[in-house]
Amino acid sequence: MASKIRVTKVFDFEAAHALWNYNGQCSNLHGHSYKLYVTVIGTPTSEGSNPKNGMVMDFGDLKEVVNREIVSQLDHAVILNRAAMGEETGAFRSMLDKCYIVDYQPTCENLVADFAHRIAGKLPEGVSLYRVRLDETATSYAEWFASDNP
């Protein structure tokens, strides 16, 4: 009997950001120890000769996708909104080895939506992205669900 199964892999990375034109403390450059949960859904393969028999997706394959698309780019990076980039930021950017510029406000909500979009297109056939959760602090997180985003 074929059952749909969800599998989740957890990732940790460190990054800093600032919210452009925000009216609170998060307008200042600050960092987070992010925790990213990526859940995929599918039916485990039942081909006896397949080395991935019994798996929805090899955790190592999921790790490779998420590391390539997100973690390797953002770990120990500064994430900034392109709208905040003016001529006066040139000297500031020269001090940063990893400055990741995005076309949106780098809030937890926008980051998790971006991550979901980047991961979904890289999954193997028969496997779908189910949920992405991004913990910004120990008590604050944002979630993206495929069922909410047809």
26 is catalytic: yes
Of these residues, 117, 125, 136, 143, which one is catalytic?
136
Of these residues, 26, 32, 99, 109, which one is catalytic?
26
17 is catalytic: no
Given a contact cutoff of 8 angstroms between Cβ atoms, the answer to whether 102 and 80 are in contact is: yes
Structure tokens at 53: 């028999």
- Round to whole Å and give the CA distance between 105 and 144: 17
Of these residues, 17, 47, 76, 117, which one is catalytic?
76
- Secondary structure of 3-33 as H, E, C letters: CCEEEEEEEEEEEEECCCCCCCHHHCCEEEE
76 is catalytic: yes
Catalytic residues: 26, 76, 136
